[in-house]
């Protein structure tokens, strides 16, 4: 039997879906939940064949992480267009959509998993001596950033320079995001911890939503998780990370990827002025050309590139210069 997960905020519509699943031959209800956090945990631990997600939940930024999980676990995701949320369109590409009434009107509800997506190929291990030992990579992303990060970090070898990432997403999703990306790329990917040393081969992602991720030098480079108000409308903020690295700018290589708004644009500009090598994702490959556009207009982007070229460009900027 095909297990079905329902994620819908509206209790009346959720109950209608539950009754339809329970009456459908060859289907069984795995869970009916009201938010994406619960849907994520159910999906990760029970692996339903199909996830039915309401359109308003699919419009949330953290839905990007859900889609990555669905693809990794070969879970078929169907976004339910119910008419009341018609103006809310998911910015995640390639997600199946179906009117809720069509789903309810079928005696055999949609079933069957989708074929698993082959993870992007990652670069083979590179000799540690290829990279200058003092280099640090910083990356900021928002809307569309989950897939962009997979493409960028997929180019990194297992001994890449230490890397810090701020990706705007819900506070409950950063640990899952780290696990998912870790399963797709060669370096070790994890949530950043207070005081953690930055070492080669490790990519650290800003955790939660209550503190900013920054970098500090205490003889060696370490992560700092700092309290504070939202910056550029976000916590953690890309601007907070970028600006904390200004004293280290000649050692820094930074990129600003797809995203709505302007978080990271001013910080990237300040980094470039202080001597960092900077990159921005181009309009053609951005899901939302907001953050990198503002950075480009401010003069903060040293090179504007398609997302598939940014990973190698970051590594090239970190390579040791022959004596």
User: Catalytic residues, which ones?
Assistant: 142, 168, 263
Contact 252, 281 (CB under 8 A): no
Nearest of 206, 169, 211 to residue 69 by alpha carbon:
169
d(CA 135, CA 206): 19
Residue 153: Cβ-neighbour burial (10 angstroms; 0-12, 13-18, 19+): buried
Encoded tokens for 145: 């950033």
Nearest of 130, 125, 126, 127 to residue 320 by alpha carbon:
130
Sign of the Cα torsion 76, 180, 135, 139 reads: positive
Reported in sequence order, the residue ranges of the chain that DSSP labels E, i.e. its strands, are 2-7, 27-33, 50-54, 76-81, 96-99, 136-141, 163-167, 188-191, 202-205, 212-217, 221-226, 252-256, 277-281, 303-305
Sign of the Cα torsion 298, 304, 310, 314 reads: negative
Nearest of 60, 51, 50, 52 to residue 89 by alpha carbon:
60
């Amino acid at each position: 039997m095909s297990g079905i997960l329902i994620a819908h905020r509206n209790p009346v519509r959720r109950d209608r879906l539950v009754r339809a699943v329970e009456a459908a031959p060859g289907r069984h209800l795995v869970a009916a939940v009201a938010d994406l956090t619960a849907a994520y945990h159910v999906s990760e631990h029970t692996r339903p064949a199909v996830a039915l997600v309401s359109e308003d939940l699919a419009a949330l930024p953290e839905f990007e992480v859900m889609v990555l999980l669905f693809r990794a676990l070969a879970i078929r995701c169907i976004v339910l267009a119910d008419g009341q949320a018609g103006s809310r369109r998911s910015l995640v590409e390639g997600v199946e959509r179906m009117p809720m009434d069509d789903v309810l009107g079928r005696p055999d509800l949609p079933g069957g998993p989708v074929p698993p997506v082959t993870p992007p190929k990652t670069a083979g291990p590179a000799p540690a001596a290829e990279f200058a030992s003092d280099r640090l990579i910083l990356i900021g992303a928002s809307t569309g950033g989950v897939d962009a990060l997979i493409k960028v970090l997929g180019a990194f070898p297992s001994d890449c320079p230490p890397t810090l990432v701020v990706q705007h997403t819900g506070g409950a999703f950063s640990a899952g995001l780290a696990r998912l990306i870790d399963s797709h790329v060669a370096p070790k990917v994890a949530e950043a911890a207070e005081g953690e040393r930055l070492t080669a081969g490790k990519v650290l992602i800003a955790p939660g939503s209550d503190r900013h991720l920054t970098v500090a030098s205490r003889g060696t480079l370490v992560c700092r998780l700092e309290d504070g108000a939202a910056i550029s409308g976000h916590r953690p903020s890309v601007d907070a990370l970028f600006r904390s690295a200004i004293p280290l700018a000649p050692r820094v290589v930074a990129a600003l990827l797809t995203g709505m708004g302007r978080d990271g644009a001013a910080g990237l500009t300040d980094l470039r002025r202080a001597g960092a090598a900077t990159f921005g994702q181009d309009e053609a490959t951005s899901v939302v050309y907001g953050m990198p556009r503002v950075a480009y207009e401010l003069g903060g982007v040293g090179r504007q590139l398609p997302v598939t070229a940014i990973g190698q460009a970051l590594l090239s900027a970190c390579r040791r210069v022959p004596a």
